[in-house]
Amino acid sequence: MRRLEYIGTTAAQGFWRNPVMSVASTFTVGLMLLLFAFFLATDRGLQAAVGVLESKVELALFLEDDARVSDVLALRARIEADPAVSRVDYITKEQAMARLLDIAARRPDIQIIDTSSNPLQNSLEIKLAHAQDAPRVAAALRQEVGNGVVSDIVDNPQVVDKLLTVTRVLSIGGLAVLAMMLIVALFVIVNTIRIAVHARRDEIEIMKLVGATDWFVRWPFILEGMLVGALGAVAATVVVLIAAGPVMNAMVGFIEILPLSFGTTFVWQLVGSVFALALAVGGGGAMLSVRAHLAK
């Protein structure tokens, strides 16, 4: 108990006796963690968006009005044989019209004036298992256009493609920025602890002289580093919780109709990850600093 008390008190003293450096490093760590939290949340949001879009990925083959049923069934069988295809639905022109009327009823900006004739076509709607396969499947089916069965093909996976590209760029760019911030945060913590070690160099010398173990010398500094990390994590978490609502709304408005909502499990995962990284960076940086001093 006495040992823990000594280690705890010394760590807290170290923090408060050098307030400028302590606050500066807490701020830097907090900023790094904020970036980390933003990166995690964005990554998770984009992944969710890709998931949602992927489940909606469709290719639509519009069929000639005079296409023979046997040819349509043969085409459908060929498409279903592709492992990338999860489902093929035959939609009659009447079903398509009903759908259109249903959409129009819910949207004031669309008005169907004349419903006496049906200009829509029968179609095959193809759902894919993975968005990545869309270009290949679409290219293969495009060759069917003009063969007497398929009149046109419509695909919407470009959106998914763009989103996948954005996710990739954000992942790589985010990781690069995060790595740089991590190095900066480590550098600041190492220097903060180095100053603390320097301020207590006489004490450390005497501790070693009277037979204190290296760990007993190290722990107060490691704890001080972890304290810097934890305070940075608290600051980052507070900012994230305050900013989460408005930022989320802006994102939903920006990306449009994507159901971006994070469950409480994700929030706890996020907070847990932020604190884990904070303690690791704080403790690790302090350990590097004090190890270098003890090795002298």
6 forms part of the interface with other proteins (CB under 8 A):
yes
Single out the residue of 2, 106, 107, 296 in contact with other proteins (rule: CB under 8 A). Answer: 2
Residue 183 burial by Cβ neighbours in a 10 Å radius (0-12, 13-18, 19+): exposed
Region 185-204 residues binding other proteins, contact defined as CB under 8 A? 202-203
For residues 181 and 32, the answer to whether their CB atoms sit within 8 Å is yes
Nearer to other proteins, 147 or 213 (CB): 213
207 forms part of the interface with other proteins (CB under 8 A):
yes
For residues 64 and 149, the answer to whether their CB atoms sit within 8 Å is yes
Region 214-233 residues binding other proteins, contact defined as CB under 8 A? 214, 216
Choices 2-10, 98-106, 110-118, 168-176 (CB under 8 A): range interacting with other proteins: 2-10
Single out the residue of 210, 246, 259, 265 in contact with other proteins (rule: CB under 8 A). Answer: 210
209 forms part of the interface with other proteins (CB under 8 A):
yes
Q: What is the DSSP string of 229-278?
A: HHHHHHHHHHHHHHHHHHHHHHHHHHH-S------HHHHHHHHHHHHHHH
Give which of 222, 262, 259 is closest to 245, Cα–Cα: 262
Q: Whole-angstrom Cα distance, residue 58 to residue 53?
A: 10
Provide the minimum distance between the beta carbon of 202 and other proteins in the complex, in angstroms, as a whole number: 6
Single out the residue of 55, 115, 213, 249 in contact with other proteins (rule: CB under 8 A). Answer: 213
Provide the minimum distance between the beta carbon of 214 and other proteins in the complex, in angstroms, as a whole number: 8
